Amino acid sequence: MGVPALTQEWMDAYKAAILADPEYKQIAKDWEGSVSLVVLADPDKGIPETVYLFQDYWHGDVGDFVVCDKEKAENAKFVMTGDYSRWKQIARKELDATKALLQGKLKMKGDLPYVVRNIKTVNKVIDILGTFDTIWPDEV
């Protein structure tokens, strides 16, 4: 049975999947900083309001993974914003997150050169996102 996307239960499953990954700790040893994913409202797809997801990463450890308010999300070191459909495509490996940023399909606030230097870490956490069964709001 899957986990409903964009819920606290989903964030807990995502954090557990990252912690369970045997390579994550080594790959992410140099990463410092929180990341927020902002999923823009799309009532037609079952997302009535914008959803804010805060994730805290620190040298291979994982801190808070929470659904939060706009203020907390905007105080993350990196804030990535996109449409629900884009995030779903990324989770399903139908769209590469780096390409999405470069093509303007996702927007990022934060230090882009830092992200580029640590792209293996970024790619690893995105790969893990698609490893657990998710129930998407527009498929219910």
How many structural domains are present in the chain?
Answer: 1
Residue 72, domain member (yes or no) = yes
The C-alpha angle with vertex 104 and arms to 101 and 107, in degrees rounded to 5, equals 65
Looking at residue 33, its pLDDT comes to 95
Looking at residue 75, its pLDDT comes to 97
Residue 136, domain member (yes or no) = no
Residue 34, domain member (yes or no) = yes
Residue 58, domain member (yes or no) = yes
Strand partners, 67: 53
Q: In the 8-state DSSP scheme, what is residue 8?
A: H
Strand partners, 62: 57
What are the residues whose beta carbons fall under 8 Å from the beta carbon of 8, sequence distance 6 or more? Answer: 66, 67
Phi, psi of 127 (to 5 degrees): -60, -40
With CA atoms as reference, report the closest residue to 14 among 105, 96, 117, 129. Answer: 129
Residue 134, domain member (yes or no) = no
**Sequence-ordered strand ranges (E) for 71-119:** 78-83, 106-109
Cα 11 vs. chain centroid, distance in angstroms? 9
Walking along the chain (140 residues) 10 residues at a time, the average pLDDT comes out as: 94 96 95 97 96 97 97 97 96 91 93 91 92 92
Range of the domain at 21: 3-127
With CA atoms as reference, report the closest residue to 15 among 70, 76, 64. Answer: 64
Tokens coding 47: 């997302």
Tokens coding 30: 């140099």
With CA atoms as reference, report the closest residue to 42 among 70, 6, 8, 67. Answer: 6
Query: For residue 90, what is the domain's CATH number?
Result: 3.30.1050.10
Residue 82, domain member (yes or no) = yes
| End-to-end CA, the chain | 13
